[in-house]
Structure 1
Amino acid sequence: MFWTMSIILFVLWGMGMVTGSTEGLWVHLLLVFAVTALILAVARQGRRRLVG
């Protein structure tokens, strides 16, 4: 789930940067959320390997 969210947010961020219709800081918040989702996905996958 976190992998999908991070990919979608990265795509939306990239589209926002390419179209040039950036609303100031808001488009960069997508990047922050995408990186956060990616970190959570990696952490969750690492925890599964330790448990299982």
Structure 2
Amino acid sequence: MLHYALVFLVIALVAAVFGFGGIAAGAVGIAKILFFVFIIMAVISFAVSLIKR
């Protein structure tokens, strides 16, 4: 999931360089959502692994 967040971030940067502001804003929004979902899932996974010990 972190990979997809980075891919959308790169797409946003390339779109911003070429002047496609709407596409860049959309890609940044998707990248942010994917990053936060990744962080939440990583924290939950870490907590579950601590509880199972």
Which bracket does the TM-score occupy, shorter chain normalised? 0.7 to 0.9
Match status 1:28 vs 2:25:
yes
- Which contiguous aligned blocks of 4+ residues in structure 1 show a shift greater than 2 angstroms? 24-27
How far apart, in 1, do the equivalents of 2:47 and 2:3 lie? 23
Output one character per residue of 1:18-44: Cα deviation in whole Å (capped at 9) or x when no partner.
122x1x523211100000000000000
How far apart, in 2, do the equivalents of 1:12 and 1:26 lie? 9
**Which structure has the larger Rg over C-alpha atoms?**
2
Structure 2: runs of 5+ lacking an equivalent = none
How many residues are paired up? Answer: 49
- The more displaced of 25-34 and 40-49 is 25-34
Structure 1: runs of 5+ lacking an equivalent = none
